[in-house]
Amino acid sequence: MENMVLQIVLVKFIVCLIIISICDAMTMKQIKQTGKMMRKTCLPKNNVEEEKVDKISEGTFIEEKEVMCYMACVMKMANTMKNGKLSYEAAMKQIDLLLPDEIKEPAKKALTACKKVPDSYKDICEASFHTTKCIYNENPEIFFFP
């Protein structure tokens, strides 16, 4: 049953990505809606409490394995990983495809500043956590994480 729910969520997410790739970049409202779908999948998958991830967008990062792996799950669903590792190129491509024009350049600048962070971590969860935290620190005004 859980596998079926995951498949349905993934199909919905892929459909959203296809629609978005045909149209212009997403609005922040659309980004937040897509984030809700990711959250519904990644919270139970990583056995993390919602309260622990609620404040990530505000810069509160709880350094616990479940939270870190939640971040990795979201990044995987956002197609910013390749071969089980964070991919700078894939993330830049997603910025170009999905983000509203007014935040594309600041997002690229923040991502570029944090490009080497994942190299310091063998664990994908830790790499995701510290990269996300770095991006927040680079530009908290445009930061969003579901």
Residue 110 has pLDDT above 90, yes or no: yes
High-pLDDT (> 70) share of the chain, %: 80
Q: How many domains does the chain have?
A: 1
Q: Calculate ∠ Cα 123-67-6, nearest 5°.
A: 90
Q: Quick one: DSSP state of residue 25?
A: P
Using alpha carbons only, give the angle 97, 86, 109 rounded to the nearest 5 degrees.
Answer: 55
131 assigned to some structural domain = yes
Which secondary-structure segment (H or E) carries 44?
Answer: helix 28-45
Phi first, then psi: what are they for 85, rounded to 5°? -130, 150
CATH number at residue 34: 1.10.238.20
Enclosing H/E stretch for 85: strand 85-86
Instruction: Identify the pLDDT of residue 82.
Output: 85
Work out the pLDDT band at 84, boundaries 50, 70, 90: confident
Range of the domain at 98: 2-138
Q: Each residue of 73-82: pLDDT tens digit? A: 999 999 998 8
**Cα–Cα distances in Å, from 70 out to 31, 53, 78?**
18, 8, 12
Tokens of 22: 């045909």
- Residue 80 domain-assigned (yes or no): yes
Beta bridge pairs of residue 82? 85
Q: Tell me the pTM.
A: 0.78
